[in-house]
Structure 1
Amino acid sequence: MNTAASGWLQPDWPAPPRVRALFTTRGASADDGASAPPRDWFNLGDHVGDAPAAVAANRARLAAALGARPVFMSQVHGHDVLVLAPGVPDGATADAAVSTAPGLACTVMVADCLPVLITDTAGRAVAAAHAGWRGLAGGVLEQALASFEACAQAGRAQLAIKTEANELIAWLGPCIGPRAFEVGPEVRAAFVDADGGAAGCFAPQPGGKYLADLPALARRRLAAGGVTRVFGNDGSDDWCTVRQPARYFSYRRDQVAHGGTGRMAACIWLA
């Protein structure tokens, strides 16, 4: 992974120059954000009990860093996709976004769920998906890929882009890792009933539980959708939100122990 001067992550992937992307972290001190503990410091969620002024300050800081407008959605662990256009407001109910409009950042918030950023080597469009296990099992990546292709085809003539040698690529951001994500048999069944090969993404544990490999499950879904070049999260502890408390917010780790946690954002946009 590449780390920007701010401590945020920048995807290391073969995206064209017009495609920009980053993933925010929680920050190391009050110099990095306006939120107070336990949402310290760079919380971007306006639904987690943080002071509205702090969230607004952090979001303004993000927009200034992007040089683009991050469009925040109301995420419900579903599979609806928001197509960004000038004037679209924040707060639409969706768990993925796609855009061909420069200056509008597809933005998903996470604190254990997997953020997935998508583009292609021609830079026709960009997309971001919020892929917790429910959304992943429910088809959020499939819907995001379909919306991406529809938007990319619509904008192809305007951009004068040939697609014959073009490839879709994806980047997986930090999420709860496969050594920390314990789930019940119903979660395993939600994947294995649709894809028997997904059984290899679940490690049996005592008491009928399983450890689930969320990045590996996402890679299977992406591959089935024709995306075989996937970068970023490899399932190691460096990418695990639970096991990196100084760097990442984690709902599972902090909600009970500290009464709450913040939200990070994965953003992708066209310059």
Structure 2
Amino acid sequence: MLEIITSPLLQPIRHGFFTRKGGASSGIFAGLNCGTGSSDLAEVVAINRARAAEAMGISPAALVTVNQVHSADVVTVTTPLPDRPRADAMVTATPGLALAVLTADCQPVLFADPDAQVIGAAHAGWRGARDGVLEATVEAMEALGAVRTRIRAVIGPTISQRAYEVGPEFVEGFIDDDRDNARFFANGKGDRALFDLPAFGLHRLRGLGLADVGWTGHCTYSDPERFYSYRRTTHAGEADYGRLLSAIRL
């Protein structure tokens, strides 16, 4: 049985932040690993993606993903993509297509303007969020007829502050951008700090003047039964990790 987290902010647009439950993968990937870039068996990943597509009411070919590279690049999608372009966000006004991003601690962000029937999806890790992928997604939605004061955006399961330890050079980069970014860091052990990625994402989204923004409140690191986590895998010394899928469709 698949487990799909939804948000009332995005209703009535069909969407879901999938957990790892209900998939065909085994071992360290056990569950719904949808990452074609993982070392999991390709045919098993295809089964998992097909299950997610069925849950979204579409064919596997209509489940659109990109080659995520931690950029601020956005693709406007009008048909299924035969090749996955290098980008980290997508927008569409085409019914029947589901925009999907893959994450394992980074923020999956789903956007919708139900009145204009325009949607978006972004993969927003610290680098993408800092470089403007959220802002670029909203601008691309506007180019399709969306109005930002009607757009709603929701951050799905992501790593929370208590699990996100970073070094002083990481903090300095954010402070150099904006001194007010200090609010997103708490003191850790020694010279380490704890970064609040979802709070930073919400801050960037709120600065766009959208209708409403939110976070589902789920931490990927602290709930291994439900979520994959790159950082948890690294700490455990495991060879690879699964990827969670988040999708939205018209």
Q: TM-score, normalised by structure 2?
A: 0.92
Alpha-carbon spacing, 1:34–1:228, altered in 2? closer, same or farther (3 Å): same
Q: Are 2:27 and 1:37 equivalent residues in the alignment? A: yes
Instruction: Provide the rounded CA distance (Å) in 1 between the counterparts of 2:32 and 2:80.
Output: 26
Aligned counterpart, 2:219: 240
AA matched with 2:29: R
Instruction: Provide the rounded CA distance (Å) in 1 between the counterparts of 2:221 and 2:11.
Output: 32
Q: Are 2:110 and 1:130 equivalent residues in the alignment? A: no
Alpha-carbon spacing, 1:87–1:228, altered in 2? closer, same or farther (3 Å): closer
1:24 pairs with one of 18, 28, 36: 18
Q: Residue 163 of structure 2 aligns to a residue in which SS?
A: coil
Aligned counterpart, 1:49: 39
Structure 2 residues without counterparts, runs of 5 or longer:
none
Shift of 1:44: 0.3
Q: Residue 91 of structure 1 aligns to a residue in which SS?
A: coil
Alpha-carbon spacing, 1:72–1:90, altered in 2? closer, same or farther (3 Å): farther
Instruction: Provide the rounded CA distance (Å) in 1 between the counterparts of 2:197 and 2:116.
Output: 27
AA matched with 2:15: A
Q: Residue 182 of structure 2 aligns to a residue in which SS?
A: helix
Q: Are 2:165 and 1:186 equivalent residues in the alignment? A: no
2:4 pairs with one of 4, 8, 30: 8
Aligned counterpart, 1:262: 242
Alpha-carbon spacing, 1:41–1:79, altered in 2? closer, same or farther (3 Å): same
Instruction: Provide the rounded CA distance (Å) in 1 between the counterparts of 2:168 and 2:203.
Output: 19
Shift of 1:16: 4.8
Instruction: Provide the rounded CA distance (Å) in 2 between the counterparts of 1:207 and 1:16.
Output: 44
What whole-Å deviation, never above 9, does each CA across 1:209-250 have from its counterpart, x for those lacking one? 11011111011111222126212334xxxx111100100000
Q: Residue 208 of structure 1 aligns to a residue in which SS?
A: coil
Aligned counterpart, 2:106: 113
Q: Are 2:178 and 1:198 equivalent residues in the alignment? A: no
AA matched with 1:9: I
Alpha-carbon spacing, 1:233–1:212, altered in 2? closer, same or farther (3 Å): farther
C-alpha contact 2:166 2:195 (8 A) present in aligned 1: yes
Shift of 1:206: 2.8
Alpha-carbon spacing, 1:222–1:240, altered in 2? closer, same or farther (3 Å): same
Q: TM-score, normalised by structure 1?
A: 0.85
2:136 pairs with one of 138, 143, 148: 143
Aligned counterpart, 1:60: 50
Q: Residue 109 of structure 1 aligns to a residue in which SS?
A: strand
C-alpha contact 1:16 1:123 (8 A) present in aligned 2: no
Alpha-carbon spacing, 1:218–1:228, altered in 2? closer, same or farther (3 Å): farther
Instruction: Provide the rounded CA distance (Å) in 2 between the counterparts of 1:122 and 1:196.
Output: 37
Q: Residue 102 of structure 2 aligns to a residue in which SS?
A: strand
What whole-Å deviation, never above 9, does each CA across 1:140-175 have from its counterpart, x for those lacking one? 11111111111125xxxxxxxxx69x5221111011
Shift of 1:132: 0.6
Structure 1 runs of 4+ off > 3 angstroms? none
Alpha-carbon spacing, 1:231–1:64, altered in 2? closer, same or farther (3 Å): same
Structure 1 residues without counterparts, runs of 5 or longer:
154-162
What whole-Å deviation, never above 9, does each CA across 1:71-120 have from its counterpart, x for those lacking one? 12110111110111114224211100101001111111000001111112
Identity of aligned residues (%): 40
Instruction: Provide the rounded CA distance (Å) in 2 between the counterparts of 1:9 and 1:134.
Output: 25
Instruction: Provide the rounded CA distance (Å) in 2 between the counterparts of 1:222 and 1:191.
Output: 17
Shift of 1:256: 5.1
The total of aligned residue pairs comes to: 246
Aligned counterpart, 1:91: 84
C-alpha contact 1:33 1:43 (8 A) present in aligned 2: yes
Aligned counterpart, 2:145: 152
AA matched with 2:142: E
